[in-house]
Structure 1
Amino acid sequence: MNMLNSALNKTSVDWATRRAIIEHMWPTTISSGLRKDDLDLEPYFRYYTRQCHDALVDHGQHVLARTHQDIIDIACRFEDQNSRDTIKEGLRSKLLKPERPNVDNILDGAIDLAARLHLMINISYAKLFISGQLQLSWESGSLKDLLSNHFSEAVRLGNDGIKLDPTFTATNLESIAGIQIKPTDNLVDHLRLIDKEDKVVAIFHHASFLNRQTGTVLPQGLKEETLRTLSLLFPQHDRQTRHWLKKQSGRFDDMLHRCDPIRLEDRQIEKFHFWHDRLVMLKQAFDQSRPATMSQWWFDRRNGVQWYTFWISVLVLLLTIIFGIVQSIEGALQVYKAYHPTQPVSR
């Protein structure tokens, strides 16, 4: 049985079907097969299942795709640089009743679903609100052109004084700056500060998905630069990072702690183009933060002199309080003894 002909709306996708999807969606000549422990694609298939479930509501009345093979066939057209109109007309020819009501909606729904599953980007023909995510509206041209236009925006923010030093990690963003890390399944939301107080940042954590990407639709260099930002924020050999990831209970791709270590020359902010401005804003939010709790004071060692000065002051204050309490107790005992002298024991 062809695993790819199974229905999209199954509650779970077994390993054999997953392997078939991966090998057909992103074919590679590097190896003949994919071992189960090569990559952590469980987070991707949670996203895959959720997207299929959401798209196939109302018994799939608004989406033409029904099987995994349908999705892969459309994804192949993305890689062939077909325009949206060309893909749409090709799908229209497969309809048994091409003049049925809302035919354009079900064709657009299938194309959008395939694009989201192929790239993990919130893409839609119609402008919709989905979980506060950024959304790319694809109305015409090829998918590659859409992404090239989106990611070709010129760098706007200056980077004077911005240094991506080793303290700039995801764990320190939380423990020092109080910036919450929120995992996202939408690549275009990566590194975006998503609240008004700049205290929540979205991180596209799907390192396994990126490592498997072999297509040509994403702009050249985007995959590699995104992986470098993950290496920057989740350093492989950092014990604090590994401990933090273990406590996240599967919220993040397990391959995050196995990303290749980032070299010093690749740590320079000028080396980043696609994510330059968001890195600058995130680093500024980190640098401008000031400890608000005792735990943040403890972890904030960006300024060694300030850290030692603060904790020495705290130690002196504690010792002063302790000695003051001891002296107060001694004084109280002396006063008590003065008014209540010890009576000699009679024999």
Structure 2
Amino acid sequence: ELICKFWPTSNISFNSFDAQDYAAFLQYIDIQLRQIRRHQRYFAVETLEGTFDIIETVRANFSQPRSHILQILSKKFLNVEAAAIQRSLELSVRLWLTFNVNSSNVIVGPTFANEIPLDWDENASLETLVQNQFPKGSASSGLTPRSKIDPSFTAACLANICGVKLYWTDNIANHLRFDSTRQVLTVYKHKICLVNHLSADDDCIPKEVLRETLDTLNLLFPFGDLATKQLLMKEGQLLFYGLGNCNRGRQLNIEEYKYYREELEHLIDSFNRPPRTWKQLATDRRNKLEWSAFWITVMVAVLTMVSIPCNVIQAMYSVKAYHATL
């Protein structure tokens, strides 16, 4: 019932519902609602039911400016400060869309370096705010041109071979942001939300954005790949793997990515760079010639190290044998 209130027009049924699929999302809801418990006097609503009422208002008016939605809500919350209503409005959006909408003029509580809040201008609609987070990439990003993505390009390879670290985010707007200096890739973790938004009729996230976001997750975390499963287990995201490919095949044509093409090309360039450490070189089998040469060199070095003491011992015995014959 709780999930259906977020997506009342989606195809969620009691028989198909699995609570495990929503574990991460329910945890996210709990974290967001703690703001109300800790800063209760700064919000217009105190319950989840009140939050769902606001979501319904937003759902019916997401193409209207924020100021218009606040006018509607102010009639429901008499004698409540406008800032408190705005905080509850933006909290409702964060819960519904997993967008970190948290305007600087009304923000309360801590902020985190990896989770940059979005400011919602009073003259902008939620629809516009969302669409502005997903500009279509240019046909050419200035990187090495390619069309077919190497099938071995996975998050597991990026982590195990290239040394990329994963940061799991609740904010869909931060998906696939890559800090090349720190080698940190941000990944959106609520795959189940993408599926439900796709099946909903009244949603302000463009369907093609939802589909492409799903495709990037299937690309980086292919279902059935053992290394991917082991990585997700290590990252504490194994339930993410259990969702499968959500009826979408693995898209290996870079030309099909309109919104995440530039991000993917940066990742692919990082993926194609030669190993930077001995550990990466030892496990990188993409270039069979270099990998074989490395291990041949290692074996020669090991045999050389073993032969040195053997030669010394042999020389010592030869000297002793010589003196014994005198």
Where on the TM-score scale, by shorter chain, does this alignment land: which range? 0.7 to 0.9
Question: Match for residue 136 of structure 1?
Answer: 118
Q: What SS class does the counterpart of residue 185 from structure 2 fall into?
A: strand
Match of 1:309 among 272, 293, 299: 293
1:53 and 2:37 matched: no
d(CA) in 1 for partners of 2:29, 2:10 = 24
| Residue 270 to residue 198, structure 1, CA distance change in 2 (3 Å) | farther
Question: Match for residue 284 of structure 2?
Answer: 300
Identity of aligned residues (%): 27
1:184 and 2:166 matched: no
How far the C-alpha of 1:151 sits from its partner, in A, is 1.4
Q: What SS class does the counterpart of residue 165 from structure 1 fall into?
A: coil
Question: Match for residue 247 of structure 1?
Answer: 234
How far the C-alpha of 1:319 sits from its partner, in A, is 1.7
d(CA) in 2 for partners of 1:236, 1:291 = 28
> Once the two structures are superposed, what CA deviation does each residue of 1:83-131 show, in whole Å capped at 9, x if it has no partner?
2222212221122424xxxx11101100110010011111123266821
> Once the two structures are superposed, what CA deviation does each residue of 1:213-250 show, in whole Å capped at 9, x if it has no partner?
224210221111111111111111111111222223x3
Question: Match for residue 208 of structure 1?
Answer: 192
Mapping 1:249-288, distance limit 5 Å = 250-251=236-237, 253-255=239-241, 258-260=244-246, 263=249, 266-288=251-273
1:175 and 2:160 matched: yes
| Residue 125 to residue 225, structure 1, CA distance change in 2 (3 Å) | same
d(CA) in 2 for partners of 1:192, 1:104 = 34
Moved more, 224-233 or 70-79: 70-79
Question: Match for residue 94 of structure 1?
Answer: 76
Q: What SS class does the counterpart of residue 171 from structure 1 fall into?
A: helix
d(CA) in 2 for partners of 1:286, 1:32 = 41
How far the C-alpha of 1:49 sits from its partner, in A, is 0.8
Q: What SS class does the counterpart of residue 70 from structure 1 fall into?
A: helix
TM-score under structure 2 length normalisation: 0.87
Q: What SS class does the counterpart of residue 168 from structure 2 fall into?
A: strand
How far the C-alpha of 1:169 sits from its partner, in A, is 0.8
1:79 and 2:56 matched: no
Mapping 1:8-23, distance limit 5 Å = 20-23=1-4
Match of 1:325 among 299, 309, 315: 309
1:126 and 2:126 matched: no
How far the C-alpha of 1:41 sits from its partner, in A, is 1.0
1:149 and 2:149 matched: no
> Once the two structures are superposed, what CA deviation does each residue of 1:201-221 show, in whole Å capped at 9, x if it has no partner?
111122122222224210221
> Once the two structures are superposed, what CA deviation does each residue of 1:293-333 show, in whole Å capped at 9, x if it has no partner?
33x11221221111112211211222222223322222223
d(CA) in 1 for partners of 2:181, 2:132 = 29
d(CA) in 2 for partners of 1:226, 1:340 = 81
Partner amino acid for 1:176? I
Q: What SS class does the counterpart of residue 276 from structure 2 fall into?
A: coil
| Residue 145 to residue 123, structure 1, CA distance change in 2 (3 Å) | same
d(CA) in 2 for partners of 1:78, 1:340 = 100
State the aligned residue count. Answer: 313
d(CA) in 2 for partners of 1:278, 1:44 = 25
d(CA) in 2 for partners of 1:120, 1:69 = 18
d(CA) in 2 for partners of 1:303, 1:110 = 54
Equivalent pair of 1:78/1:217 in contact (CA under 8 Å): no
Stretches of structure 2 that go unaligned for 5 or more consecutive residues are none
Match of 1:42 among 8, 23, 39: 23
TM-score under structure 1 length normalisation: 0.82
Partner amino acid for 2:75? S
